[in-house]
Amino acid sequence: MAANAPVEPRPNKHQDKTRVNMGGLLSKGAKDTAPKVCGQQPCMCRNCDPGRPNQPQIGTDPPGRRTDRQCYSYPSVTPGAPSMKRTLISAVLLLTLLAPAVAATPEEDAIERRHAIFELIAFNVGTMGGMVREKIPFDQTEFKKRALNAAFMAQMLDEHWPKGSDKGGTDAKPDIWENEADFRAKLKSFQDQANSLYKASKTGTLETLKPEFGKLIEQCKGCHDQYKAD
């Protein structure tokens, strides 16, 4: 070959291939043209080389292969961008998290709050009951704390009794709303006795606290017998 002879351009094996629309990523009306040269000869990015693994591990590709997932010759796709499938999954998860939950009715909310309060009262009363029955050692500081908790929670029972909240997941009888004045009186007696027990617990001994605790249990039972379903 002569020293000054022109060099024939190396043929591009992509020149006769049609540009793929890549699942609709190209904008409407985009002209399908042969892909641009990626800067490597031959181009071995995934879009230009069907034999390229779908999700190569960085650093494990054979020499000369591109480690980005998309071809640089496609300007509508950012090299290294996540796949359409992953993007759609992420979008669905985000919409699921942002979608408002089905709102509960005011009656259902009231039932849930009542249950939570009663559970907390029962936990604290149960601890005091264990000491009173001498199932666990008496601890005056612990007893006082449990009495305070029970008295505080009892005050919260003034709310959360809307009409219609006797249906669904509740043991409340309809009699509560049919005899609301009596129910409220019994609830007030329970609250007052819970406060009395707390005051007695500040200085009381186990022997002096047993009668006060017994009165609290009587108040609980009197209300439950009439207004709580079996």
For residues 216 and 212, give the distance between their C-alpha atoms in angstroms, rounded to a whole number. Answer: 7
Residue 2 reports pLDDT greater than 60: no
Residue 93 placed within a domain: no
User: Three-state SS for 172?
Assistant: strand
Cβ neighbours of residue 84 under 8 Å, at least 6 residues apart?
A: 23, 25
* pLDDT tens track for 128-165: 999 999 999 999 999 999 999 999 999 999 999 999 99
If asked whether residues 112 and 183 sit together in one domain, one would say yes
If asked whether residues 177 and 124 sit together in one domain, one would say yes
Which range marks the domain in which residue 157 is found?
Answer: 106-227
Residue 4 placed within a domain: no
Residue 212 reports pLDDT greater than 70: yes
Residue 52 placed within a domain: yes
What pLDDT sits at residue 88?
59
If asked whether residues 68 and 171 sit together in one domain, one would say no
User: Three-state SS for 148?
Assistant: helix
Q: What does the block give as tokens for 92?
A: 């669905």
Q: Which has the closest alpha carbon to 61: 47, 72, 37, 45?
A: 45
Q: At 113, which CATH number?
A: 1.20.120.10
Q: Which has the closest alpha carbon to 148: 199, 193, 217, 187?
A: 199
Mean pLDDT for all residues in the chain: 74
User: Three-state SS for 75?
Assistant: coil
CB-side neighbour CA atoms (13 Å) of 6: 3
Q: 181 to each of 51, 176, 187, how far by Cα in Å? A: 82, 9, 10
* pLDDT tens track for 29-73: 444 444 444 554 455 555 555 555 544 444 444 444 444 444 444
What pLDDT sits at residue 206?
96
Max intra-chain CA distance, the chain: 119
Domain count, the chain: 2
* pLDDT tens track for 101-128: 555 798 999 999 999 999 999 999 999 9
The predicted model scores a pTM of 0.56
Confidence of residue 26 (pLDDT cuts 50, 70, 90): very low
Residue 25 reports pLDDT greater than 50: no
- Are 213 and 128 in contact, with CB atoms under 8 Å apart? yes
For residues 160 and 169, give the distance between their C-alpha atoms in angstroms, rounded to a whole number. Answer: 14
What pLDDT sits at residue 58?
43
For residues 218 and 222, give the distance between their C-alpha atoms in angstroms, rounded to a whole number. Answer: 6
What pLDDT sits at residue 71?
46
Helices (H), 7-138: 84-98, 106-132
Residue 222 reports pLDDT greater than 80: yes
Question: Which residue do the tokens 């499938």 mark?
Answer: 85
Cα angle 107-112-117, degrees, rounded to a multiple of 5: 125
Q: What does the block give as tokens for 3?
A: 């020293």
If asked whether residues 73 and 115 sit together in one domain, one would say no
Residue 3 placed within a domain: no
Phi, psi of 15 (to 5 degrees): -60, -30
